Amino acid sequence: MLDLLTAAEMRAADEATIAGGVPSQVLMERAAKAALQVLKDRFDTTHVLFLCGSGNNGGDGLAMARFLAEAGGKASVFYLGKRQTDGTPDPTAMSEECARQYALLTDTVKMQASLDTRGVTAVVDAIFGIGLCRPIEGEIKDCIQAITATGIPVLALDIPSGVHSDTGSILSIALPAKVTVAIAAAKWGHYLYPGTLFCGETQCVDIGVYTKASSFLVKKSDLSELPARPAKAHKGTFGRVLVIGGSVGMSGAGYFAAKAALRAGAGLAEIFAPTENRIIYQTQLPEALLTLYNPDHFDEQPLRAAISRADAIAIGMGLGQNELTYQMLACVLEHATVPVVLDADALNVMAISPALRELCACSTVPTILTPHLGEASRLFSRPLAAISQNLAFVAKEEAAALRSILVLKDARTVVSDGMHLYLNTYGNSGMATGGSGDVLAGIITAFAAQGATPINAASLGVLAHALAGDAALVKYGNRGMIASDIIDGLCDVLK
């Protein structure tokens, strides 16, 4: 996993490092040298134009320009901050470190009085960095538009100017980068939409800052954290999954969840299904066990017996929003002694039932909720746009409120246990297809049944699901992908 920091966490890490005896000037020059190496490796540095603001990000850019010039390169600086009456930068309006770096410049670095891109082969964006939280306007907005229009490749220092570091939102305009050099640690804005579209390739550089993260970017290698598969084993070793889903006319939901659970390594999968779906399941998924119920005359005892046999439970996919779903969910939350994954209609029913919400929050077993943004909007009574623009904040706050693990599904899915956050960046738009969420619920439940910790079951389940979608993309393409293709992709991902 890769550390992810907010702007506030990054500032605190800088301050702790400085308090620990590393001067701020040393950190700035380390950042400049590391970024300059990336610039030399990835860009034509015949003539580099540095766009520098008045803060520490601008100081990084000035230090880069100085080091490039000292090495014999051609460096020009266009300063985007308060100027004196003669048109030169005003050091009194700079941050302390930026002013120090400005004072160190020599005549080998050309200071431009106005923006001039003639002969420029690369641009370094050192205007704002991670501190920006207001819309860009005026001269800086004009500069960004002008640079973008030239098509000259850009290296962004820490984050492209105009991208909000914590949310990835665009602050009226942003300067697209070919490469973004993340100083000390990756930031949320590098990977959340729409900001990620402006970052190009993000490359982290270590400058010796003491970072302490509670948020992480999951990587493919993290699948090694799944429970081992011992050679001496039987089907019970790998857990029994109970799927409570797939009402009449929605049998596919239960099918996808159960089959995905088996493909994800569960030893057994049992489907609690209405009697009308018996033939469908027995012909389409003979590997699954069936416990049948009569929707018109529901008896809780068979469900309680199935709950007692399970090592992990998934409920909600294709169940319908009705009294029967309410009864089933209440039964599960009251009697389960193993992890429970709540998906789809389980969440929709909970959204209109304070009693179910309280049962979930007070449950003594791990509960994992898997809402997409629409379900999350109903469940948390928040506008959809407010959730979309603050994925990490909402996931962490609502997970804590429900004392549950929350899998907040979007193009970038965020997982939280109320204390930590895990961001997934794998997957593709071909996965936006009916049944994909049922597959994810089955995978998470299977990992929990095999003994993964609840937070690992959720975060690694999201990872495996996304990687399976990427495997399906290679085989089937984006437009024609269906949920079954994602299940097939699991075999490639987990083998």
pLDDT of residue 125: 99
User: pLDDT tens digits, residue range 1-24?
Assistant: 999 999 999 999 999 999 999 999
Q: Give tens-digit pLDDT for 392-430.
A: 999 999 999 999 999 999 999 999 999 999 999 999 999
pLDDT for 279 beyond 90: yes
> For residues 476 and 273, what is the distance between their CA atoms, to the nearest angstrom?
31
Cis ω before 194 (30° cut-off from 0): yes
- Secondary structure of the chain in HEC code, one letter for each residue: CEEEECHHHHHHHHHHHHHCCCCHHHHHHHHHHHHHHHHHHHCCCCCEEEEECCCHHHHHHHHHHHHHHHCCCCEEEEECCCECCCCCECHHHCCHHHHHHHHHCCCCEEEECCCCCCCCCEEEEECCHHHCCCCCCHHHHHHHHHHHHHCCCEEEECCCCCECCCCCCECCCCCCCCEEEEECCEEHHHCCCCCHHHHCEEEEECCCCCCCCCEEECCHHHHHHCCCCCCCCCHHHHCEEEEECCCCCCHHHHHHHHHHHHHCCCCEEEEEEEHHHHHHHHHHCCCCEEEEECCCCCCHHHHHHHHHHCCEEEECCCCCCCHHHHHHHHHHHHHCCCCEEECCHHHHHHHCCHHHHHHHHCCCCCEEECCEHHHHHHHHCCCHHHHHCCHHHHHHHHHHHHCCEEEEECCCEEEECCCCEEEECCCCHHHCCCCHHHHHHHHHHHHHHCCCCHHHHHHHHHHHHHHHHHHHHHHHCCCCCCHHHHHHHHHHHHC
Confidence of residue 211 (pLDDT cuts 50, 70, 90): confident
Token pair listed for 247: 């009402």
**Mean pLDDT, residues 175-202 taken together:** 97
Q: What is the mean pLDDT of the chain?
A: 96
pLDDT at 163 (0 to 100): 98
Domains in the chain and their CATH numbers? 2-212 (3.40.50.10260), 220-494 (3.40.1190.20)
User: Can you give the pLDDT at residue 88?
Assistant: 86
pTM assigned to the model:
0.93
In the chain, what percentage of residues exceed pLDDT 70?
100
- In tens, the pLDDT along 40-64 reads 999 999 999 999 999 999 999 999 9
Look at residue 212 and tell me whether its pLDDT is greater than 90: no
Q: What's the rounded mean pLDDT across residues 249-267?
A: 97
CB-based burial, 352-369: b 16+ in 10 Å, e otherwise: eeeebeebbeebeebbbb
For residue 182, pLDDT beyond 90: yes
Distance, in Å, from the CA atom of 493 to the CA atom of 491, rounded to the nearest integer, reads 6
Query: Quick one: pLDDT at residue 337?
Result: 98
Under 8 Å between Cβ of 187 and 166: yes
pLDDT of residue 263: 98
For residue 375, pLDDT over 90 is answered with yes
